[in-house]
Structure formats: C-alpha cells, structure tokens
C-alpha cells in the first residue's frame, strides 16, 4: 500500500511569531495515525516580528525556513520551489505567523493580501481537488 502524503505549510516556529507548535504537532500526530507521510514547506523570508517566548521581548530578525525546520525536525522545502505533485492533502496550522508571514491579516484585517507563494499553493490545491485544512487564524488565508 502506498502511503498518502500531506503537505504542511509552516510559518516559522512559535505561537507569537510563527507556527503554533501545539497545532502543528497535533496535526502531525493525527496525520501519521491516519497513514499520511508529511512533507514540509515554508516561505524563505525574514520573520517580520520575532519574540522571545520566555520574556515577550522583541528579538533580532530570524528567517522562517530554518525556524520551520525546528518543527519539521529536518529540512523544509522552500515554498517557491514546492510542488503539490503526489500530495493528497494540505495542512496549514495557525499561530501569529499565519497572520504576519503567510498573509498580512494582522496588519490589514479583512483587507489583507496573501503572500503570492501561499496564494499559488492554495490555488494549486483547489485546482487539483486537494483538501485544505486550516487551523486557528489560518482560515483567513483561504
């Protein structure tokens, strides 16, 4: 039996400035229990806001891709070169990164725009009939 594949779109690592780790891990566990192999992608951009989750203070700039690799526990495919070929589902966990990196909802509210690479990924998923699961704040992207 060929395993199903789910793509997980990450926005860094950390509820206040990236992907909400509990949501990502919970989704990973559910996907693995459902027989899915998970591949990871994230934009290769600087995080616009970086927080020290211990103190709440601002930190120096970090990049989304290596931060996302903390959750993936290994390499993450840059979103610009990611393809949904062979992918059966797309999962987008929440966290503030979904509203600041994947789109600018945190700044513009309902008038937000979506990162062009994210927009392409979601449009491709829709065109291919791939189900998309978006958690917490991530549905604003859809």
| Residues with active-site annotation | 136
- Alpha-carbon distance of 12 to 63, in angstroms, equals 8
At residue 36, the 3 state secondary structure works out as: strand
CB 84 within 8 A of CB 90: yes
Maximal CA-CA distance, the chain: 49
CB 46 within 8 A of CB 64: yes
At residue 82, the 3 state secondary structure works out as: coil
Q: How far is CA 74 from CA 2, 27, 69, 71, in A?
A: 23, 17, 5, 8
């Amino acid at each position: 039996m060929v395993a199903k594949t789910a793509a997980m779109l990450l926005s860094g690592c950390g509820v206040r400035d990236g992907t909400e780790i509990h949501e990502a891990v919970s989704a990973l566990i559910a996907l693995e229990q459902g027989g899915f192999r998970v591949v990871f992608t994230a934009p290769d951009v600087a995080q616009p806001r970086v927080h020290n989750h211990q103190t709440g203070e601002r930190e120096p700039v970090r990049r989304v891709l290596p931060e996302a690799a903390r959750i993936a526990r290994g390499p993450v495919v840059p979103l610009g070169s990611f393809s949904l070929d062979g992918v059966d589902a797309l999962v987008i966990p929440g966290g503030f990164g979904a509203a600041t990196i994947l789109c600018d909802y945190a700044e513009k509210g309902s008038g937000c725009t979506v990162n062009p690479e994210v927009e392409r990924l979601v449009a491709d998923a829709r065109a291919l009939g791939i189900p998309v699961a978006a958690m917490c704040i991530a549905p604003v992207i859809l």
